[in-house]
Amino acid sequence: MRGLWVTDYTDFDKLSIEDIPQPPLAPKQIRLKVGAAGISFSVNLVVAGKYQRKPPLPFTPGTECAGTVIECGADVTRFKLGDRVCAALDWGAYAEEAIAWEVNTYAIPDNLEFAEATNFNSYATSSAALTWPRLLNVQPGETLLVHGAAGAIGLAAIEIGKILGAIVIATASTAEKRAAAQAHGADHVIDYSGGAFRDEVNEITGGRGADAILDPVGGDVFDQSLRCIAFEGRIAPVGFTAGRAPQIPANIVLVKNITVCGLNFGTYYGWSPNDVRYEMEDRVRAILDRFYQWAKNDMIHPHVCATFPLEDFRDAMAMVTARQSIGRVALVMDR
């Protein structure tokens, strides 16, 4: 089969498509014919050997895919041949076939294209951040501020926020991205290309500030968010695309009685040193079952801004790293 093949840690652009061996199938694993695989910036770090979790060499990169079940290992009970699924992989998505653990595999409805289904982790992350009681726990009528609103996580958060009955304020850096946020349901959109958004948030909320803030950006965006968060508000950092992990000033946390609640959803797939995928399976599957129902009932619209054939993997990653993407960029295999 064909796929990307990493024999030494290197730059993503230096990879090539190879005829690679078919990976063996272990008990509780599923073999997929990959329909589409999601492109994310973190794959650059994995390929370069700079990520916190290093796959053993050689390997095929890629951690999110959707496709069709073509083989089930021993002890697999949830799926059968021909099922349409999405899966969180340890690695291996950028190839014609991939191996997934059953615990990290989820059904997708027939009305969802494989490229659209590669958004599943963005919806899972946003859903957990917005609904889990110890995180943002957004309630009807509350104001939700979503940063990086045109990214895959941002667009998902806007849609879920509206399902929950929140008033959604979205920030984005270009007119095209703000239009996308509005099309996905944002009640208010703010241009933060100049760096400032605090005054507009406070004006929209009548000086009260946002009750809940989802921040995949970090850096100065996080710092400024603490200046427009409501008393007893909650803020969830879920990434640092700005390149700087902010330091949390305890005096603001104290004075405003706010809660800072981080979320690394990959932990629940085993993408961190703390592998809790089996301990947390019921919680994660409930989130992905909700994704299935929302998609089936046309309540969400996972956005794919561009698809590329496997041969154009460099162009796909370049679009992501240049911050030109809106929603998801995906590699598609049958094209």
Question: Which region, left, alpha or beta, applies to residue 209 given φ > 0 means left and ψ of -120 to 50 means alpha?
Answer: left
Q: How far apart are alpha carbons 307 and 315 in whole angstroms?
A: 10
Confidence of residue 232 (pLDDT cuts 50, 70, 90): very high
Q: How far apart are alpha carbons 281 and 293 in whole angstroms?
A: 18
**What is the mean predicted confidence (pLDDT) over 213-218?**
95
- Computed over every residue of the chain, the mean pLDDT equals 95
User: For residue 76, what are its two tokens?
Assistant: 């697999």
The confidence score (pLDDT) of residue 226 equals 96
Give tens-digit pLDDT for 158-197: 999 999 999 999 999 999 999 999 999 999 999 998 889 9
**What is the mean predicted confidence (pLDDT) over 90-95?**
96
Collapse the DSSP code of 219 into the 3-class scheme (helix H, G, I; strand E, B; otherwise coil) and give the result: helix
Confidence of residue 126 (pLDDT cuts 50, 70, 90): very high
Q: How far apart are alpha carbons 144 and 211 in whole angstroms?
A: 6
Q: Which domains are delineated in the chain?
A: 2-119+267-332 (3.90.180.10), 122-263 (3.40.50.720)
Cβ neighbour number for residue 315 with a 10 Å cutoff: 13
The confidence score (pLDDT) of residue 272 equals 79
Residue 212 has pLDDT above 80, yes or no: yes
Q: How far apart are alpha carbons 290 and 55 in whole angstroms?
A: 30
CB 99, CB 18: distance < 8 Å = no
Cα angle 23, 10, 219; round to 5: 110
The confidence score (pLDDT) of residue 97 equals 97
Contacts of 18 by beta carbon, 8 Å cutoff, 6+ apart: 2, 3, 4, 5
The confidence score (pLDDT) of residue 242 equals 78
**What is the mean predicted confidence (pLDDT) over 205-218?**
97
Give tens-digit pLDDT for 46-79: 999 988 788 999 999 999 999 999 999 999 999 9
Nearest Cα residue to 40 out of 61, 15, 19:
61
Collapse the DSSP code of 273 into the 3-class scheme (helix H, G, I; strand E, B; otherwise coil) and give the result: coil
The confidence score (pLDDT) of residue 335 equals 57
Confidence of residue 213 (pLDDT cuts 50, 70, 90): very high
Question: Which region, left, alpha or beta, applies to residue 257 given φ > 0 means left and ψ of -120 to 50 means alpha?
Answer: left
Confidence of residue 271 (pLDDT cuts 50, 70, 90): confident
As a whole-number percent, the residues of the chain with pLDDT over 90 amount to: 90
Distance of CA 61 to CAs 5, 94, 174, 280, Å? Answer: 7, 6, 31, 25
Question: Which region, left, alpha or beta, applies to residue 212 given φ > 0 means left and ψ of -120 to 50 means alpha?
Answer: beta
User: For residue 122, what are its two tokens?
Assistant: 């963005």
The confidence score (pLDDT) of residue 235 equals 98
The confidence score (pLDDT) of residue 143 equals 98
